[in-house]
Structure 1
Amino acid sequence: MVDRPRMDEADPLSWMREQMPVLRTLGAAGEPLAGTTVGVASHLEPSTGFFIETLHEAGAEVLATASQADSTHDDVVDHLDSLERVETFADASMDDDALDAAHRRLLDREPELLLDDGAELVVKAHDDVSDVAGAVRAAAEQTTSGVSRVEAMADADRLRVPVYRVNHTPMKHQFDNVHGTGESALTNIAMITNTIIAGRTVVVAGYGYVGKGVARKARDLGAETVVTEIDPRKALKARMDGHRVVPMAEAAAEGDLFVTATGNCRVIRDEHFERMPDEAMLANVGHMDVELDLDALRERAVEVTETDQGITRYHLPDGRRLDVLARGRLVNLTGPFSQGHPAAVMDTTFGAMFVAGRDLADGPVPEPGVHDLPDDLDREVAELELDAMGIDIDSPTDLQSAYLDSWDREGTLEAWEQGDWD
């Protein structure tokens, strides 16, 4: 077990250090990143702050920016700027254009390693404006949408650096995407609206790992869950998991709460707004704020009001009112009370990003392209988390290891039983 540090109420990261033992352990294991300049793009809230602090403790020079506007905590930025070898390129007042300019200022410093969210830095490092990809040794990506972007770059023969798709590891999929987003999204929806999830019809658009988490948590809270999908396999998975599966045109007429989790654009659009019941609520947990077609909704509305913090009400000509939460941005990160994912979940995600960065900075890197995080690194993070939780598991015996590695399993057992074992 890792010793728990004492918390300091004046320090914005003190609670994160308490709740993130994997990062504490990794940060205390020497300085494997000494001499490496690391560019980090993520939501600059307290758990990210502790991740950046951990990179700093590991010896890195860290250049940090936000991956999206509206999710930056200025107290976290101030703390990070107080550290030697850490410089931030974000503040809470930035809009999308200002943040884009900040990303480019960071890239002008030519970091060797990019630890990214949404592929914001990787994409900009390759475009015609900055084109500094030649200075980048490697990168790691922590989100579904970011992985899809770098995969598209690789398919178009535009990707000039190796990128670990940390998002696709078991630790990231099963913990961050399912439990982190699923739980934090519904928690923040309930806090913003002061409403109950139980008894409502919750429509979840998309049944990847994030959508799966939202739908599962909503049903556990007592909601009737409806899933919409464009992938037949994911639709079938949702149905076999017990959710009703219908097209969005049908779901639109009956949902009380709509949550988009697709990573795509214009998922809920004008023909769906036309059918929604009065006071339906709409939220997004996909990476970008393009899943809800708010331009179409604004054009349809006769009036737009702010009914409360984080709630924008669109008054329609027929008297219906549709409430958009957190302006259609990530509801678990940009709402008025948002803190992002639970710290215990982000501990494993940032732990995986840390070991990815350590591996890419310390050893030979793969060829340019998109690569899986090596399995032994993902297992390392899982083992650290189990250790922090005080959980022991079994180890395979020599026979069990040999049996699983053998194609002639019957022969392996016979050799073992007869003592003819080499």
Structure 2
Amino acid sequence: MEYNVKDLSLADQGKKQIEWAEMHMPALISIRQQLSSSQAFKGIRISAVLHVTKETAALVRTLKAAGADIYLAGSNPLSTQDDVAAALVKYDGIHVFAWKGESETDYYNNMNEILKYEPNVVMDDGGDLHALIHEKYRNIKLFGGTEETTTGVIRLKAMEEQGVLLYPVIAVNNAFTKYLFDNRVGTGQSAIDGILRATNILIAGKVAVVVGYGWVGRGIASRLRGMGARVIVVEVSPLRALEALMDGFDVMPMKDAAKIGDLFVTATGNINVISKDHILLMKNGAILANAGHFNVEIDVKGLKEIAKNIRTIRPYTEEYELPNGNKVYLLADGRLVNLAAAEGHPSEVMDLSFSNQALSVDYIVKNHLSIEKRVYNVPLDIDEQVAFLKLKGMGIEIETMTEEQKEYIKQWKYGT
């Protein structure tokens, strides 16, 4: 079997990690039982670029149990959990091409590797795999694909608008059960977990600047405030800026926030939202972290150009001495702090996202002959099924409407 991982001897520990994740992912396990009993993906090849974590392991083991042949590469050079990668190869027969600390060349080589096998379905986290297919592998006959992130969906929407999208894609990121919980609750907790593991700072009393008030930014801002930080939001959207203000946060431009912040967290999906000019305004001891998918939100290149001296202080914490003598601290080289410096989202949250992924792949396989080459949202019935399974797994019952109530909301004649 072809694979490329760091160390197969780590497999036993990885197996335990996967078992721990699956214990906290009841919705996905229920879907596994459903898909495996019908062998829904028998004969299907799936190539996936995802963060190779214990939670992702639960997803690809579900696809494997349903009969698929899986080729997996990492979606970030620093996010792979090497023990999990080893376990997937040794115990599950999954072709993994990923290790923590890949170079950029390794990253793209591994992506090329998983496309050699001409998949029927692709799964992506960030859009790099989709982009590579459109650049180099246009002859692969794909049923369709999925996309996990806001960043990736933006890229795919651009392809659709320009008329170049080669196959249908389901935007898993746009499911209610994804962005309401994964983006907001999951990143809200895991980004702070990564910051604390890298720095061990006290959040309470700090001035924290959150750049971007989308679902990720909302989650981070609310949890930083819950831990005692004084939170400032930087936004370009008047609607989101107004929402942040009404949620009780200060709102200001980065040029003003840069002067007073102690901790900066980016969550925009855009480039250089913290520029080297902003960094030069920062006070001594400022900490910079990124919670967006790609390492472009903080101008790391510009920071390295202006730094008088650079040294590693702690794992995932680098000190940059600025020309004025102030020192700022960059976490995880500007990459996703929750996955580079910690373990990513809690399994309970990824249970929702990866349940959507599994059912979206099932939808593509069943409907690929009839769906068009465009970006689709997750069908509402799948979204609601995932929510129901999650509640059931948590032992929660919800109310049901009576027949009278069902009829009442269908009519228009009766009011007060």
Q: TM-score, normalised by structure 2?
A: 0.93
Q: Which residue of 1 aligns with 2:131?
A: 123
1:307 aligns with 2:313: yes
Counting aligned pairs with the same residue, the percent is 37
Query: Equivalent residue of 1:25, what SS?
Result: helix
Query: Equivalent residue of 1:179, what SS?
Result: helix
Structure number, greater radius of gyration: 1
Q: Work out which of the residue numbers 171, 179, 184 in structure 2 matches 1:165.
A: 171
In structure 2, distance between residues paired with 1:346 and 1:176:
7
Matches within 5 A, 1:200-219: 200-219=206-225
Partners of 2:280 and 2:322 within 8 A in 1: no
Matches within 5 A, 1:344-359: 344-359=348-363
Matches within 5 A, 1:1-400: 11-29=16-34, 30=37, 31-83=39-91, 86-127=94-135, 129-132=136-139, 134-335=140-341, 338-364=342-368, 365-400=370-405
TM-superposed CA distance for 1:407, in Å, is 3.3
Q: Per-residue CA shift, 1:209-247, capped at 9, x if unaligned?
A: 000100011011111000001111111111111111000
Q: Which residue of 1 aligns with 2:5?
A: none
Q: Which residue of 2 aligns with 1:4?
A: none
Query: Equivalent residue of 1:152, what SS?
Result: helix
Query: Equivalent residue of 2:312, what SS?
Result: strand
Aligned partner letter, 1:366: I
TM-superposed CA distance for 1:298, in Å, is 1.2
Query: Equivalent residue of 2:260, what SS?
Result: coil
In structure 2, distance between residues paired with 1:311 and 1:84:
35
Q: 1:255 to 1:137 in 2, by over 3 A?
A: same
Q: TM-score, normalised by structure 1?
A: 0.92
TM-superposed CA distance for 1:85, in Å, is 5.2
TM-superposed CA distance for 1:28, in Å, is 1.4
Q: Per-residue CA shift, 1:37-71, capped at 9, x if unaligned?
A: 11111110111111111111121111111111111
Question: After the TM superposition, which of the residue ranges 283-292 and 35-44 deviates more from structure 2?
Answer: 35-44
Q: Which runs of 5+ in 1 are unaligned?
A: 1-7, 414-422
TM-superposed CA distance for 1:88, in Å, is 1.2
TM-superposed CA distance for 1:93, in Å, is 4.2
TM-superposed CA distance for 1:84, in Å, is 5.5
Partners of 1:80 and 1:86 within 8 A in 2: yes
Query: Equivalent residue of 2:47, what SS?
Result: strand
Partners of 1:19 and 1:343 within 8 A in 2: yes
Aligned partner letter, 1:69: P
Q: Per-residue CA shift, 1:187-209, capped at 9, x if unaligned?
A: 11112101111110100000000
Aligned partner letter, 1:300: I
In structure 2, distance between residues paired with 1:379 and 1:120:
29
Partners of 1:33 and 1:58 within 8 A in 2: yes
TM-superposed CA distance for 1:409, in Å, is 4.2
Question: After the TM superposition, which of the residue ranges 174-183 and 65-74 deviates more from structure 2?
Answer: 65-74
Partners of 2:267 and 2:290 within 8 A in 1: yes
Query: Equivalent residue of 1:47, what SS?
Result: helix
Aligned partner letter, 1:130: Y
TM-superposed CA distance for 1:94, in Å, is 1.9
In structure 2, distance between residues paired with 1:405 and 1:354:
33
Q: 1:106 to 1:56 in 2, by over 3 A?
A: same
In structure 2, distance between residues paired with 1:235 and 1:319:
33
Instruction: State the number of aligned residues.
Output: 400
TM-superposed CA distance for 1:385, in Å, is 0.3
Aligned partner letter, 1:346: M
Root mean square deviation of aligned Cα: 1.5
In structure 1, distance between residues paired with 2:134 and 2:308:
43
Q: Per-residue CA shift, 1:103-139, capped at 9, x if unaligned?
A: 1121121111112111122111111x2224x411111
Query: Equivalent residue of 2:122, what SS?
Result: strand
Q: Per-residue CA shift, 1:163-207, capped at 9, x if unaligned?
A: 111111110111000010011001111121011111101000000
Q: Which runs of 5+ in 2 are unaligned?
A: 1-11
Partners of 1:108 and 1:130 within 8 A in 2: no
In structure 2, distance between residues paired with 1:121 and 1:299:
30
Q: Which residue of 2 aligns with 1:416?
A: none
TM-superposed CA distance for 1:403, in Å, is 2.1
Partners of 1:12 and 1:79 within 8 A in 2: no
Partners of 1:104 and 1:130 within 8 A in 2: no
In structure 1, distance between residues paired with 2:338 and 2:101:
19
Aligned partner letter, 2:352: T
Query: Equivalent residue of 2:201, what SS?
Result: coil
In structure 1, distance between residues paired with 2:92 and 2:284:
53
Q: 1:366 to 1:405 in 2, by over 3 A?
A: farther
Q: Which residue of 2 aligns with 1:420?
A: none
In structure 1, distance between residues paired with 2:303 and 2:256:
18
In structure 2, distance between residues paired with 1:202 and 1:84:
43
In structure 2, distance between residues paired with 1:119 and 1:299:
29
Q: 1:269 to 1:385 in 2, by over 3 A?
A: same
